[in-house]
Structure 1
Amino acid sequence: MGIGLIIGLCAPKGSVAEMSYISKMFINMIKTLIVPLVFSTLVVGIAGHGDDLKRLGMLALKSIIYFEVATTIALIIGMIAVNVIKPGKGIDLSGIIVSQAIKDAQKNSEKVTWHEIITHPVPSSFFEAASKNDVLQVVFCAVMFAVATIMVESRFKPPMLHFLESLSIIMFKVTELVMNFAPIGIMCALAATVNASGAAVLINLAALIGTLYGSLLIFAVLVFLPVLLICRVPLLKTCKIIGQPALIAFSTASSEAALPKAMELMERFGVPRGTVSFVMPTGYSFNLDGTTLYLALASLLCSSWWN
């Protein structure tokens, strides 16, 4: 990270734009792992550990309740932070006409309907969902496949589970291979981003950035810390485990890029494979707390800029 920041700040503007290609290649390599990894681990996690569908239902219910509570708290913290700190105070952009941006926003908002939100988790084709890396749709297909695997005759079940378990083990090994390129990918991503934006932009947005990270810290203390204490999970060990996935997500600005490594480390940490393979992919669709907090903060900030 340090080398990437130094290169981005010291190199002439635009001179390291090609480094973004390397970071893009690194992110793409990680994204190719997501579908086979999520599908294989989820099916094995559900169908390979007993025929207790009630346990799966309780896991899903607990996950959804946690997702809802955590996301709501993140939303509230973001709204309180921007109203109390007012990072956009003194900036008035009401005189700037952004007609094209307004048209684009209106066009995009018209595309989203309740019908689409409800029907989106069910894909018309598994292969289409896989090609788009739509994690939620892949999870739906995997759950259906796992339930069907549980219900078939016992002689058909072991060969399929053996194949998928072998696939998941191989995909975790591929993840380890890809992670060898993480230092280079992270360095190139930071260098290209900082060089393109410039230090001046970061300074001008310092209030927003400071408010955002301060709010995220408050969220971690109010939500993550109590959960760890209640569940008696070692705090320092947890921080060590999530350090590398968090660094990848921060440096590449991609949550998906951190998913394979995060799943691997959580399983090493002792979390059952069935829990990891179900909760983490669905969390990427329903529980993006950082994004929720940021969108609440940024939306109110932009509205204050344009009065």
Structure 2
Amino acid sequence: MAVVGKPTSTKRRTIAILVALVLGVVCGLSVHDLAPEWITFAEQTGSLLTQIFLRLIRMIIAPLVFATLVSGVGKLGDDTMVLRVGGRVLLWFISMSFLSLLIGLFAAHVLSPGSGFSAPLPADVSGLKHPFQPVEFILHVVPTSILDAMSRNDILQIVVFAVLFGVALPAAKTAGQTMLKWTEELAHVMLRMTDMVMVLAPMAVFGSIMGTLAHSGAGVLLLFGRFLAEFYSTILFQWCVLTGITCLFLGRRITGLIREMVQPVVLGFATASSEAVYPLLLEKLENFGVPGRIAGFVLPLGYSFNMDGSILFQSFGALFIAQAYGIQMSWSQQFLMVLVMMLSSKGIAGVPRASLVTLVAVLPQFGLPEAGIALILGIDHFLDMARTATNVLGNGYAAAVSAKWEGVLAEGPAEETL
């Protein structure tokens, strides 16, 4: 699959996104502090700019995931290959998820983000409640209609259908080869559309940041400054751990991968939407040397099963709430909570508030008040930015390691540029 875009345009796009971030902060704070009568207008404008971009991205997500996954599975050639690649990468996902939960748990013990924390709680935050039901989750995995799944951008259901479709292609022989070529060409077209849409990324970044800060101002950052700093430091530590583990498999090539991951991570951080980053991440991994059939197979799975940032927030956030309320939890309770979070986090999409919904589902099972989520609601956008960036980084690492395991990691142009 060809790489869309050139290194020069990529650098310019990265710079434009960073500039948009800075301008969004400056404009948002200026409106909040100097022109409060324009706050509503700034919020609406920011929301409009962001939603236009996200709608355009979501428009191409379903066909892109379907095309890349079907072509990726079809190129693997047989069921054994699918099981081998899928089994290895799922083992990686489970290991990294468990490690992320433990990092969040121990960081919360060391930093005690909830100690001395007090804030007024709203009377009702039950709107986020959505208890985790294992049977419902298993049934939800299987789509009743692929068209319905695509219309809702339900990544997990699209993954299931696309994998089965790709595995069935060889049975169709000549027709199967025709369908395989068709899905490859469809992926090319969707990536070209992605390149066109990505021109609007700086606009979306500016709108998202400007609107949020125009509404909340710097006060929300100051009020929860300690919690934000501790969570971000935990995320940075997690990045170091993930990078170190990945380096064990990639060696010195990790530096080239990190360079390619900069723009997807920045975009994920700014938009707080993994959906918006998927096409760009796919492009960057191919530029690094990960074959399209591997990246197209691993990334959609990762979007449902490898949410490293989101799952770290589960344990960190739960301990934060327990500390804020002065609730003591035994180590056995905490370990059991980690196992429940491991299950309840699988299949959540990388969209804003998904982590909060999952956390609220787990809290009552361990005697933690659901109302504690209100302590986080005000700054969740900024937390979600870090969670999404981590999810993007973790999935990029997983795809590269998977390609290395299969012995198909090529020398990408990124090794000689930037």
TM-score computed with the length of structure 1 as normaliser: 0.92
Matched, 1:278 2:297: yes
CA deviation profile, 1:54-82 (whole Å, cap 9, x unmatched): 11101111111111110111111111111
Match in the other structure for 1:9: 29
Is 2:269 aligned against 1:287? no
Q: Does residue 87 of the first structure (1) align with residue 113 of the second (2)?
A: yes
Q: 2:113·2:323 contact (CA, 8 Å) conserved in 1?
A: no
- 1:135 is displaced (CA, Å) by 0.7
Q: In 1, are the aligned partners of 2:142 and 2:160 still within 8 Å (CA)? A: yes
Structure 2 Cα separation of the partners of residues 4 and 122 of structure 1 = 41
Could you tell me which residue of structure 2 aligns to residue 19 of structure 1? Answer: 46
5 Å-filtered alignment, 1:29-48, equals 29-47=56-74
Which residue matches 2:175? Answer: 156
Counterparts of 1:108 and 1:150, CA distance in 2:
41
Q: What is the rounded CA distance, in whole Å, between the counterparts of 2:27 and 2:280 in structure 1?
A: 27
1:90 positional shift: 1.3
Query: 1:142, CA displacement in angstroms?
Result: 0.5
Q: Deviations over 1:163-207 (max 9, x none)?
A: 211110010001100111111111111111121121010111111
CA apart distance, 1:223: 2.3
| 2:130 aligned to which of 101, 105, 108 | 108
Q: Deviating runs (4+, > 3 A) in structure 1?
A: 96-99
- Report deviation, 1:161: 1.8
Alignment of 1:183 onto 2:202: yes
SS at match of 1:181: helix
CA distance in 2: counterparts of 1:227 and 1:50, whole angstroms: 24
Aligned-partner SS, 1:108:
coil
Structure 1 position 268 matched with structure 2 position 290: no
Residue 146 of structure 1, aligned match among 158, 166, 171: 166
Count of matched residue pairs:
299
Give the TM-score normalised by structure 2. Answer: 0.68
- Distance (Å, rounded) in 2 between the aligned partners of 1:232 and 1:63: 19
Q: 1:253 to 1:97 in 2, by over 3 A?
A: closer
CA deviations on 1:246-292 (whole Å, 9 max, x unpaired) are 11111111111111110121122111112101111111111100011
Task: Write the letter of the residue equivalent to 1:142.
Answer: A
Q: Deviations over 1:80-105 (max 9, x none)?
A: 11111112221235xx564422x446
Give the superposition deviation at 1:130: 0.6
Q: Could you tell me which of 107, 121, 141 is aligned with 1:121?
A: 141
Query: Is 2:76–2:293's contact at 8 Å kept on the other side of the alignment?
Result: no
8 Å contact kept, 2:76–2:82:
no
The answer to whether residue 246 in structure 2 is matched with residue 227 in structure 1 is yes
Report the aligned-residue RMSD. Answer: 1.6
Query: Are the counterparts in 1 of residues 105 and 316 from structure 2 also a CA contact under 8 Å?
Result: yes
% same residue: 30
Residue segments in structure 2 that go unaligned for 5+ positions in a row: 1-20, 327-418
Structure 1 unmatched ranges of 5 or more: none
Change in 2 beyond 3 A, CA 1:50/1:132:
closer
Q: Measure the CA separation in 1 of the matches of 2:59 and 2:243.
A: 30
Cα 1:97–1:162 shift into 2, 3 Å: closer
1:217 equivalent in structure 2? 236
